[in-house]
Structure 1
Amino acid sequence: MGTEEFQLPRSRAANERLHALIPGGAHTYAKGDDQYPEHLAPVISHGRGAHVWDVDGNRYIEYGSGLRSVSLGHAHPRVTEAARREIDRGGNFVRPSVLEVEAAERFLATVPTADMVKFAKNGSDVTTAAVRLARAATGRPRVAVCSDQPFFSVDDWFIATTPMSAGIPQAITELTVSFPYGDLAATEELLDRYPDDVACLIVEPTGPPDYLAGLRELADRHGCVLIFDEMITGLRWSEAGAQGLYGVVPDLSTFGKALGNGFAVSALAGRRELMEQGGLRHSGDRVFLLSTTHGAETHSLAAATAVLTTYAEEGVTAQLHTLGEKLAAGVRGAAVDAGVSDHVLVRGRASNLVYATLDESGLPSQEYRTLFLRQLLAGGVLAPSLVVSSALTDADIDHTVDVVAQACAVYRKALDAGDPSAWQGGRPVKPVFRRLV
């Protein structure tokens, strides 16, 4: 179907209803319709495996499923059955369920670098708990975040560093400092600039191992806590995350996304002497670590346990890498064939691929991204990224590459014209973090 014929009238009407009742029209800014070409933001009806259907009846091969959370595919039978079984037995009680210890045992068997774990519902819960614990343990106020990574938390200590910092007092803003990824000298300079003042370094540990080992050494030498945010790398890099792959052990780490295959569950894990400060079996000041009414609802913990078991028994991480490598090779080949390989770029680890769209000058372009997304959507590919799930088949990837090839041919036309506007279909897509609407 050509882009001119591809219309989403029911999705467009549903988006109007969403915006009338929900600020932003979605519960995650990355799912907003401003991230998609004008009037071509599908509203999803349902999903199964690697496919989703919109309310207009269109089927798509979906990438980046659930913002990387659905790595086994939608409605995975082993996961949904585990959750369904617990729903029939009650979801939340006045005392801990035995599932809480069973899920903790399974998690710590999977991530043996940690001694204790506490579960919550989303990533921000646990990253903020890690920061609070680091501040309590060190008695220091400042948090050092990696400036090259896009997101750590919805809470003030991180959002203060973004262009969307409205509503956050300057006093909070001043307590967060940043360091560039991969630059140990700059990080040491930062720690020297604030001696005995930085409570923690928090980073997504994407590698390489010598850099992560260097961060470990800096944290030890300067007396601060090293926190690995494994929301994305957890399970996708290895079953035990990047720390399991690279052999560098953080003091605290946080997991989510793939952990629940779409169910709401996250985890804070770490060294016993730190984690126990949020518990009852120590003699120091109590730390309010995490306390959530729904943090241990049974069906989400059952889902997480099933996910961890499936990864271990079926070698899912290896599957993700194999699928990603095939997809990356196909997309790069299509870009070469169309003469746009300097403009449509595939980046990232095979299990976590993203793409860049560059203009005639080689600069990132939201206009060209809009053109590219329109072509993909019309071809039945929903791909804000190229992050794979294990539910993808070779036929899915072959179809995706065919659609990408068609998109690249249009991209070449726009480059030759020196202007993509004729193929945008309206306003360009926008970055998530921006000051103005």
Structure 2
Amino acid sequence: MITSSGPPAPERTPASSPSYAHLAASAAARARLHELVPGGAHTYARGDDQYPEAMAPVLVRGNGCRVQDVDGHEYIEYGMGLRSVTLGHGYRPVVEAVSAAIADGVNFSRPTELELLAAEDFLSLVPGADMVKFAKNGSDVTTAAVRLARAATGRTTVAVCDQPFFSTDDWFIGTTAMNGGIPDTGDVVRFEYGDLEALAVLLAGHEVACVIMEAATALAEPAPGYLEGVRALCDRHGALLIFDEIITGFRWAAGGAQAVYGVTPDLSCWGKAMGNGFPISALAGKREFMELGGLRTERARVFLLSTTHGAESAGLAAFRAVVRAYATTDPIGRMEHAGRRLADAVNAVAAEAGIAGHLQVAGRPSCLIFRTNDASGQPAQEFRTLFMQEMLERGVLGQSFVTSAAHTDADIDQTAAACRAAAVIYRRALDQGGVDGLLRGRPTAPAIRRFAAPRRIGQAAE
């Protein structure tokens, strides 16, 4: 059964059917969602296919790092709104700031003082940027950055780092397996993170408008001199450098990866944690480029960003409250403390169970992932799903171990206890050569894939 406190649930014999009475309300809600919403969720990363079959809870509320589902079960949550929540769910100063702001109106026909104050706050955190424009999601601002770079340089080719995701728009999604309905995107070229020589060859062989990349990821820290080298190559070849700070902003530092590594891009894109879950994003950059979308340029103007809800008061008030929290508390320090403690505990559990080469926690302490390898040491969806299944049974929800400032030592201890019990089942699967009889239902599948199979709804579990 699912527990929310106390010792881990005892070892159990898994049922043969992916049907759980204790998740009946979630099952009904999931079925109805699939009738009304394509994929059953508004974000592919939140889809049922990303969780053990018939075990994905439908949530109703959250507080701190804990969430509750429609069946009344409580979970410790990791991932925290796809990394968008760093201060915790329902963080009172943010909620109170938003409540006060929206009481005076949400959307107007002219700019508000709040827009000015939020812009000042943002630019005080990102000293390499001269101007900022707010929007609602990361795809808005990465696409605007690419459009601006193409206009500024007169070129069309975009060099995209081989990192997982940059935008829902055609220029990026057209390069993935889910490219249905998208025309040819031959003006996008790829480069490998960390390989400066390969990027130099690419830039020498193409007229590139911009290089877009995350300066770092959970598992990839830049080698000394790498980002400086990328900056120099862009300058040499006349390409703009764009940093995607959607994840790194407010998780690596309030000023993003550029503040940590000391390399200033021409443009940068922000979102996720800057609103602690409220919808807000930002495009920031050097004045000479940003002004192309304004009224003080003699050049042909760029339709940069123009959205009805880009500067509504709730998102901006949330952002300003987040800025205050980062100035007066230490959320990054607390996230990193929780992450280090969790990584040490889970890796110790894996070592005790004799599966350290198969179950591992790795990454930046504030942005951890778990590796789930099969008996041969290769990443395996079925073992990932088995681990998530066992953690869900014991009150831990997450596709990663991304922490927030709300994760306490007690939460980490409870998670480690759940991992200790899950490791027993994981070891059993390794010993028997697979997950048969242990995994209920089908394994998870990559979120971005061409066909709904192997997790097509209506397809019987094999």
Report the TM-score range of the alignment, normalised by the length of the smaller protein. Answer: over 0.9
Q: Does 1:224 align with 2:239?
A: yes
Paired amino acid for 1:212: L
Q: CA deviation at 1:282?
A: 1.4
Distance in 2 (CA, whole Å) between partners of 1:66 and 1:55 is 18
Answering whether residue 256 of structure 2 is matched by residue 256 of structure 1, we say: no
Of 311-320 and 150-159, more deviation after overlay is shown by 311-320
Give runs of aligned pairs for residues 11-410 of structure 1, distance below 5 A.
Answer: 11-147=26-162, 149-170=163-184, 173-194=185-206, 197-206=207-216, 207-208=221-222, 209-410=224-425
Query: What root-mean-square deviation, in Å, do the aligned CA atoms of Structure 1 and Structure 2 show?
Result: 1.0
Q: Distance in 2 between matches of 1:411 and 1:370?
A: 10
CA distance in 2, matches of 1:435, 1:421: 27
Instruction: Provide the rounded CA distance (Å) in 2 between the counterparts of 1:309 and 1:328.
Output: 29
Amino acid at match of 1:42: P
Please list the CA deviations of residues 319-368 of structure 1 after superposition, one character each: whole Å capped at 9, or x if unmatched: 21111111111111111111111011212111000111111111110000
Opposite residue 108 of structure 1, the aligned amino acid is: L
Say whether the 8 Å CA contact 1:60–1:382 is kept in structure 2.
yes
Aligned 8 A contact 1:164 1:434 in 2: yes
TM (normalized to structure 1)? 0.97
The alignment's TM-score, normalised by the length of structure 2, stands at 0.92
Q: Secondary structure at the match of 1:8?
A: helix
Alpha-carbon distance in structure 2 between the residues aligned to 1:145 and 1:332: 34
Task: Give 1:6 deviation, angstroms.
Answer: 7.2
Contact 2:368 2:401 in 1 (8 A): yes
In 1: Cα distance, 2:414 partner to 2:198 partner: 45
Instruction: Please state how far the C-alpha of 1:415 moved relative to its aligned partner.
Output: 0.2
- Kept in 2, the 8 Å contact 1:276–1:282? The answer is yes
Name the CA distance, whole Å, in 2 between partners of 1:116 and 1:265. 16
CA distance in 1, matches of 2:323, 2:74: 29
Cα distance per residue 1:198-240 (max 9 Å; x no partner): 1000001114252111110111111100000001100111110
**Conservation of the 8 A alpha-carbon contact between 2:331 and 2:404:** no
Indicate conservation of the 8 Å contact 2:271/2:280, yes or no.
yes
Q: Could you report, residue by residue, the CA deviation over 1:345-398 in whole angstroms, capped at 9, with x for unpaired residues?
A: 212111000111111111110000111011000000002110001011100000
Cα distance in 1 for residues equivalent to 2:325 and 2:139: 26
Contact 1:203-1:228 at 8 Å conserved across structures: yes
Q: Percent identity over the alignment?
A: 58
Aligned length: 432
The range that moved more, 119-128 or 199-208, is 199-208
Deviations 1:386-423, CA, capped at 9 Å, x for gaps:
00010111000000011011111111110000011221
Cα distance in 1 for residues equivalent to 2:350 and 2:131: 47
Which is richer in helix?
A: 1
- The AA in structure 1 aligned to 2:435 is P
Q: Is the 8 A contact 1:367 1:421 kept in 2?
A: no
In 1, the alpha carbon distance for the partners of 2:161 and 2:444 equals: 26
Provide the C-alpha distance between the structure 2 equivalents of 1:229 and 1:262, rounded to a whole number of angstroms: 18
| SS of 1:422 mapped into structure 2 | coil
Query: Would you say the 8 A contact 1:103–1:301 is kept in 2?
Result: yes
Structure 1 segments of 4+ aligned residues over 2 angstroms from their partners: 1-7
Q: Deviations over 1:38-59 (max 9, x none)?
A: 1001000110111000001100
Which region of structure 1 is more displaced relative to structure 2, 349-358 or 202-211?
202-211
Q: Which amino acid letter does the alignment assign opposite residue 302 of structure 1?
A: A
Report the Cα distance in structure 1 between the residues aligned to 2:331 and 2:127, rounded to whole angstroms: 19
Identify unmatched segments of 5+ residues in structure 1.
none
Q: Deviations over 1:143-195 (max 9, x none)?
A: 11111x1100000000011111111112xx1011100000001111111221x
Shift of 1:123: 0.3
CA distance in 2, matches of 1:362, 1:228: 33
Give the Cα–Cα distance (whole angstroms) in 2 for the partners of residues 381 and 28 of structure 1.
21
Tell me, yes or no, if structure 1 residue 420 matches structure 2 residue 418.
Answer: no
Question: In 1, are the aligned partners of 2:143 and 2:169 still within 8 Å (CA)?
Answer: yes
Distance in 1 separating the partners of 2:292 and 2:436: 57
